[in-house]
Amino acid sequence: MTMLSQYIRKVNNWLTENKNDLYVAEIIFFVSLASFGLGRLSILWPKKEPIQIVTNDKGQMLKAETEHIDSSSSKTNKQLSSFGVSLSSQGKYIASKSGAAYHYPWCPGALKIKEENKIFFNIKEEAEKRGYKPAGNCPGL
């Protein structure tokens, strides 16, 4: 037997012994290759507009994905109401009479509070003095 045929036999034996390990290595390689390709494709995706936090004429903070907010425009009221926030909010923070946390008006927890149970605060310290804690599901608190 030649030296080349012995080498080929050794390689074939090693491949059959390590078939499962090679299968896992192939999966890892192809997943990483696909991830790299998707990352390169993400450059082509359109840029998203940044979220702007603005204040209304009462100095209350409101969150909106708009280019410009004019508190007198009906377009703005529609955009803000899509977030569950109206320009007639009475404070920067909202809590429930029976709850233990305070929220921004656009947070998911604040949107679930019934109108008759809402308590408004202008500053965080005022809410905390009354025993409320920042809501865990409200980013930025």
List, for residues 3-50, the tens digit of each pLDDT value: 999 999 999 999 999 999 999 999 999 999 999 999 888 888 777 777
Q: Judge whether 139 lies within some domain.
A: no
Q: For position 80, what pLDDT does the model report?
A: 46
Supply the pTM of this predicted model: 0.40
For residues 107 and 22, give the distance between their C-alpha atoms in angstroms, rounded to a whole number: 49
Q: Comparing 62 with 96, which gets the higher pLDDT? A: 96
List, for residues 105-138, the tens digit of each pLDDT value: 888 888 889 999 999 999 999 999 999 999 988 8
Structural domain count of the chain = 2
**What's the domain range around 22?**
3-44
Question: Which H/E stretch holds residue 110?
Answer: helix 108-111
Residues 94 and 69 both lie in one domain: yes
Residues 119 and 77 both lie in one domain: yes
Residues 88 and 32 both lie in one domain: no
Residues 120 and 88 both lie in one domain: yes
List, for residues 37-93, the tens digit of each pLDDT value: 998 888 887 777 777 777 666 555 555 444 343 334 444 444 445 554 443 346 789
Q: For position 139, what pLDDT does the model report?
A: 79
Strands in 93-96's sheet, in edge-to-edge order, are 118-121, 93-96, 101-103, 133-134
Q: Judge whether 94 lies within some domain.
A: yes
Residues 62 and 33 both lie in one domain: no
